[in-house]
Amino acid sequence: MVKIAQISCGTDYSGIQKEIEKAAETFGAQIIIPEADLNYIDEAYKKFGFNAASTGIRLMIARATSIVEGKTDADAVFIATCFRCAEGALLRNEIRRFIQKNTNLPVVTYSFTERTKADELFIRMEALSTIVARKSLLAREKQEGLTLGIDSGSSTTKAVLMENNKVIGTGWLPTADVIETANIGMEQAFNETDYKLADVDGIGVTGYGRLRIGHHMDAQLIQEELSVNSKGAVYLANKQKGEATVLDIGGMDNKVITVNDGIPDNFTMGGICAGASGRFLEMTSRRLGVDISELGPLALKGNYRKAALNSYCIVFGIQDLVTSLAAGGSKEDVAAAACYSVAEQVYEQQLQEIDLREPLIQVGGTSLIGGLVEAVSTVLGGIEVIVPEYSQYIGAVGSALLVSGLGVKK
Amino acid sequence: MKIAIFPPNSLILADLIERRGHEPLVLQKEIRKRVTDAEIDSPPLNITEEEPIKGLKYAAIEVPSGVRGRMAIFGPLIDAAEAAIIMEDAPFGFGCIGCARTNELSMFCLRKRGIPLLELHYPTTKEETMEVVNKINTFLDKLEKLEVSNG
């Protein structure tokens, strides 16, 4: 069983400890609490050098030190503090850096409220568990046989049919009823080939609807998006060796994953504010009266500095755009400002929390919005951003690739 | 040598450092640049939303903007320091940046740098005061020797 060490402050008093344990257990992992006696707490936090006022935070430091010094046997680490606790936010990051600098353990951080439920933690716990327990699966570099990958996302559903390391059919449509949408997506993919569902050797499913579709279709692989997308990204970008960062700005949440030799070793996931997601760009294009596919080229012609966008909120952000248009701002400038705003927020809320490794591989449907890709590169000081072919099908490609590692169905 | 101090605006610490021939990295100089800036966007300090964003280098987005705004000014001084003196438990008249979280983070960042560091507690008696001043002078003189031996 995968042992996830919990380093946290406030989970008991927030009433969410059992939710954390439930989330871990769902994915075959067990939460363990690193031991630290009173003397060790004093010794550890003084050594660490952060004189936290909260003793709960000092205990976090001692528990982290216990892991680093090998006093606790753990496979992965989950660091959590209360949302809005400044001291907690400071330490969450410093402890993450401390563990990553001194161990090879995968780490995930989280800030919770009393409303945090197990299912919000599923994706993180599943990814931690996968990284530890299924390393051999993630080491797969080549797709074999005929496999189907389905990515049931919050905005769109994607299906990909792969044969002998090549994409041979694709399907894409907005998500409505999860099963029905997946069926149509699959049909689109099969229509591009002479195959039918009975011919495939394996089915892999990812995305929000993965559990429902996976059970319905008796899929061989039902996997969260963090490991699937990172695997799909390095595969499509042909960066399976060495380091890379994968950025997926999704319809509802954003994922940033650092990868070493194709295996994710750190990730952050945002998803409370839609102002930093593809949804905001979708609303912008609707307000500009253009198709989402035209937003990118439009933004590339504009100058984000010419359209005032002072709010990060999806509602007030759109209001700002409307005001800019009413004041005579061009559609191009407004499109560029919207892209820049999303890129800036992704940077401020996520990318700065991760030790960015080049190249940056941008994937997901939003990677087709050229203006957004350029804005991401600008915000990050002009670094190289790779958008591989089929980047919008990333989850489906990753699923089709990984399921081919699970043996073929005959 | 460039010496960072904590509290970063302590005139007494800055004065002691200057007397021993070193350069104190004090907050006042940074703040002065902002006060005298011709384009004052956000008086009296001329700190705009850019500063808390720059402060992301030191603290995550969830950390309040005031901490990040302070770190945008004080953080580069920590980065530039070749040695540092920390005075803990000082009353605010000795020097203060008005935020306990910034205090914690600043001291942590100074410790993490791995530069020569003198940590002191604010003296409360005459004897302790003399002892503290002696410790500071000895520390600064040793740095001078270190500098000379390093060429």
Q: For A288-305, what is each residue's pLDDT tens digit? A: 999 988 998 999 999 988
A274 confidence band (pLDDT: 50, 70, 90):
low
Contacts of B60 in chain A (CB under 8 A): 89-90, 92-93, 352-353
Q: Are A254 and A346 in contact (CB under 8 A)?
A: yes
A49, A86, A93 member nearest B101 (Cβ)? A86
> Any chain B CB within 8 A of the CB of A311?
no
Question: Which one of B48, B56, B62, B105 would you mutate to disrupt binding with A, by most A Cβ within 10 Å of its Cβ?
Answer: B62
Which residue has tokens 């003397």?
Answer: A39
A325 confidence band (pLDDT: 50, 70, 90):
confident
Mean pLDDT per block of 10 residues along chain B (151 residues) reads 96 96 93 74 73 87 88 96 96 90 95 96 96 97 76 56
A2 confidence band (pLDDT: 50, 70, 90):
very high
**What is the rounded distance in angstroms from the CA atom of residue A288 to the CA atom of residue A190?**
35
Q: SS3 breakdown of chain B: % helix, strand, coil, rounded to 5?
A: 55, 15, 35
A317 or A129: which carries more pLDDT confidence? A129
Residues 6 or more apart whose Cβ sits within 8 Å of residue A285? A291, A292, A294, A295, A335
Question: Of all residues in chain A, what percent carry a pLDDT higher than 70?
Answer: 97
Q: For A390-406, what is each residue's pLDDT tens digit? A: 999 999 999 999 999 78
Buried b (16+ CB within 10 A) or exposed e, A56-93: bbbbbbbbbbbbbeeebebbbbbbbbbbebbbbbbbbb
The A residues from 332 to 371 touching B (CB cutoff 8 Å) are: 348-349, 352-353
- pLDDT at res. A290: 92
A119 confidence band (pLDDT: 50, 70, 90):
confident
Question: Of all residues in chain A, what percent carry a pLDDT higher than 90?
Answer: 57
- pLDDT at res. A346: 87
| Prior bond of A106 cis (ω within 30°) | no
- pLDDT at res. B99: 92
Do residue B104 and residue A49 have CB atoms under 8 angstroms apart? no
Return the SS3 of B40.
Answer: coil
Residue A236 phi, psi dihedral angles, 5° rounding: -70, -35
The A residues from 53 to 112 touching B (CB cutoff 8 Å) are: 53, 83-84, 86-87, 89-90, 92-94, 111
**Domain parsing of chain A, residue ranges:** 2-133, 138-226+395-406
Residues 6 or more apart whose Cβ sits within 8 Å of residue A172? A156, A157, A158, A159, A185, A188, A392, A393
Q: The domain containing residue B99 runs over which residues?
A: 2-149
Do residue A94 and residue B108 have CB atoms under 8 angstroms apart? yes
Residue A156 phi, psi dihedral angles, 5° rounding: -135, 155
B61, B100, B104 member nearest A348 (Cβ)? B61
Sheet holding A76-82, edge to edge: A29-32, A2-8, A76-82, A107-112, A263-270, A254-260, A243-249, A360-363, A385-386
Domain count for chain B, please give it: 1
- pLDDT at res. A407: 63
Contacts of A92 in chain B (CB under 8 A): 60
Do residue B63 and residue A53 have CB atoms under 8 angstroms apart? no
Residues of B with CB under 8 A from a CB of A: 53, 56-57, 59-64, 67, 88, 100-101, 104-105, 107-108, 111-112
**A410 pLDDT more than 50:** no
**Could you tell me the two tokens for A406?**
């699970």
- pLDDT at res. B86: 97
Q: Where would I find the beta strands (DSSP E) of chain B?
A: 2-6, 23-25, 83-88, 117-121
Mean pLDDT is lowest, of A176-190, A269-283, A379-393, B121-135, for: A269-283
Question: Which one of B104, B109, B111, B115 would you mutate to disrupt binding with A, by most A Cβ within 10 Å of its Cβ?
Answer: B104
B60, B101, B104 member nearest A353 (Cβ)? B60
A84, A90, A94 member nearest B101 (Cβ)? A90
> Any chain B CB within 8 A of the CB of A308?
no
Do residue B62 and residue A84 have CB atoms under 8 angstroms apart? yes
**What is the rounded distance in angstroms from the CA atom of residue A51 to the CA atom of residue A37?**
18
Residue of A nearest to B100 (CA): A53
Class of domain A138-226+395-406: alpha beta
- Domain A2-133 listed as CATH 3.40.50.11900: yes
- pLDDT at res. B148: 66
Residue of A nearest to B62 (CA): A89
Contacts of A53 in chain B (CB under 8 A): 100, 104
A111 or A247: which carries more pLDDT confidence? A247
**A409 pLDDT more than 60:** no
Do residue B101 and residue A87 have CB atoms under 8 angstroms apart? yes
What is the interface size between A and B, counted as CB pairs within 8 Å?
51
Contacts of A352 in chain B (CB under 8 A): 56-57, 60-61
A234 or A140: which carries more pLDDT confidence? A234
**A45 pLDDT more than 80:** yes
Residue of A nearest to B64 (CA): A86
- pLDDT at res. B151: 56
**A34 pLDDT more than 90:** yes
Distances, alpha carbon A223 to alpha carbons A283, A319, A393, B57, B78, in Å: 30, 38, 15, 34, 44
A267 or A248: which carries more pLDDT confidence? A248
Residue of A nearest to B114 (CA): A49
A84 confidence band (pLDDT: 50, 70, 90):
confident
Q: Nearest CA to CA, how far is B59 from chain A (Å)?
A: 6
Mean model confidence pLDDT for chain A: 90
**A203 pLDDT more than 60:** yes
Contacts of A90 in chain B (CB under 8 A): 59-60, 63, 67, 101, 104-105
Return the amino acid letter for B71. M
- pLDDT at res. B32: 84
Residue A382: CB atoms within 10 A of its CB come to 9
Do residue B104 and residue A111 have CB atoms under 8 angstroms apart? no
**What is the rounded distance in angstroms from the CA atom of residue A310 to the CA atom of residue A308?**
6
**A408 pLDDT more than 70:** no
Q: Nearest CA to CA, how far is A11 from chain B (Å)?
A: 18
Question: Which one of B48, B57, B63 would you mutate to disrupt binding with A, by most A Cβ within 10 Å of its Cβ?
Answer: B63
Q: Nearest CA to CA, how far is B151 from chain A (Å)?
A: 31
B56, B88, B101 member nearest A352 (Cβ)? B56
Average pLDDT over residues A275-287: 84
Sheet holding B23-25, edge to edge: B23-25, B2-6, B83-88, B117-121
